[in-house]
Amino acid sequence: MNVERWKIDDAGVLACARQIASPNCDLRPAESSIDLLVIHSISLPPGSFGGNAICELFTNCLDPDAHPYYRDIAGMCVSAHFLIRRDGELIQFVPCGYRAWHAGKSQWRDRQGCNDYSIGIELEGSDDVPFERAQYQVLARLVATLRAAYPIVDSVGHCDIATPKGRKTDPGPYFDWGNLKGLEADAGGVN
């Protein structure tokens, strides 16, 4: 893997990721420091993988008539910084220097509004199936790269920060945190 392509530039863009711009972001508060990674999972429609629905949701182009589930979510303005598809494809929607709208109402430790100080990473998946090896490999490399660029203190699941507790369950019981830590160490990351 080309190491130079795995660097975050001054704008917060990762060269090796496919870039699809989401309008669902804004400036971070001036005093915020990026020190939290939030791992999510998403599939659209629920339990289905592949297709463009996730990208369409994050770019406000989701057709509400394409699936009954989409009628409830098509108007939502959400995004993430990154998406890792089942085959390991890495897509960046929002530069890391901007606040992506991924966490919603949230709190980590005593700090509210996790979008202000976190980077959101979506994995194409659901609560009831294991994630793919390719996803863990790309995620580990991404996490190591982000830790090298920002003062990341913690990596947590959406379920750990969403308020009220129990509002979100992702990345779900099949997400293997131990596997991520091991691969991240191999990729040059730190705990």
Q: Is 122 a catalytic residue?
A: yes
Q: What is the largest CA-CA distance in the chain?
A: 45
Q: What is the DSSP string of 9-61?
A: -TTS-BTTSEE---S-EEEPPTT----EEEEEEE-SSTT--SSSHHHHHHTT-
pLDDT, position 191: 34
- Side-chain-side CA neighbours of residue 55 (13 Å): 14
Provide the residue-wise pLDDT of the chain in tens; the chain has 191 residues: 456 689 999 999 999 999 999 999 999 999 899 999 999 999 999 999 999 999 999 999 999 999 999 999 999 999 999 999 999 999 999 999 999 999 999 999 999 999 999 999 999 999 999 999 999 999 999 999 999 999 999 999 999 999 999 999 999 999 999 988 888 778 764 33
Instruction: Give me the amino acid identity at 168.
Output: K
Of these residues, 4, 122, 124, 184, which one is catalytic?
122
- Which pTM value belongs to this model? 0.95
H-run or E-run covering 98 = strand 98-100
- Assign 184 to helix, strand or coil: helix
Q: Domain boundaries in the chain? A: 3-186
Q: Cβ(45)–Cβ(31) under 8 Å?
A: no
Place of tokens 């991520």: 180
pLDDT, position 189: 45
Q: What is the CATH number of domain 3-186?
A: 3.40.80.10
End-to-end CA distance of the chain: 22
